[in-house]
Amino acid sequence: MSDDAQKPSKLDAQMRAALFGVIGTGVVLSLGAFAFGGPRFGIGVAIGGALAPMNLWVFAQVGEAFLSRRGNTAPWAVIATIKLALLLGGVWLILRSGIASGLSLIVGYGALPIGITVGTLFGPKPPEDLPEGDGRRTAGPGSQTSRRSFGDAPREDVLKARPADEGDPSNEP
């Protein structure tokens, strides 16, 4: 077995930027909650802010395993199910015990979308062309090996009607 197959996958630069954005946002929200909402609210925001990057990291690992299709993806499906159960169960236990309010957890967990947005806007931009065999877009837009994704713009205006051929029977009224 090669050394590459045994190494754990590393997150790409964009995912690391999003992860650091989520962590930074969680810290800022927690400090603001301690300053303006008191210790109990601050603890709840800190817990929600700690759950957000952990959830993103596990989600990134599971997503990378599914997209790379290297080896058996069944263990990652189990990990994704366990992740969801632990997240929901942990939040339920926190709410049930009264350690934190639901609102404070939501404010802290809000670090996830805010941090992803910040990391995407201010982090490194993805490369235009990826190396061969990546499974994603491999060459320029007009090449034979290019794969179109959902977000790629069409090369022509698909809404403009083309003049119908007079001899085409499908155009008859």
> Which pLDDT does position 3 carry in this prediction?
47
Tokens encoding 71: 């080896």
Per-residue pLDDT reduced to its tens digit, 12-65: 888 899 999 999 999 999 999 999 999 999 999 999 999 999 999 988 888 887
Q: What mean pLDDT do residues 115-140 have?
A: 71
149, 78, 109, 27: CA torsion to nearest 10: -100
* pLDDT band (50, 70, 90) for residue 83: confident
142, 145, 150, 151: CA torsion to nearest 10: -40
Q: What mean pLDDT do residues 146-159 have?
A: 55
Q: What mean pLDDT do residues 91-118 have?
A: 93
| pLDDT > 60? residue 145 | no
Q: What mean pLDDT do residues 61-83 have?
A: 77
Three-state secondary structure readout of 73-127: CHHHHHHHHHHHHHHHHHHHHHHHHCCCCHHHHHHHHCHHHHHHHHHHHHCCCCC
Q: Alpha-carbon distance 12 to 113, whole Å?
A: 19
Assess contact for 131 and 138: CB atoms under 8 A: yes
pTM of the model: 0.65
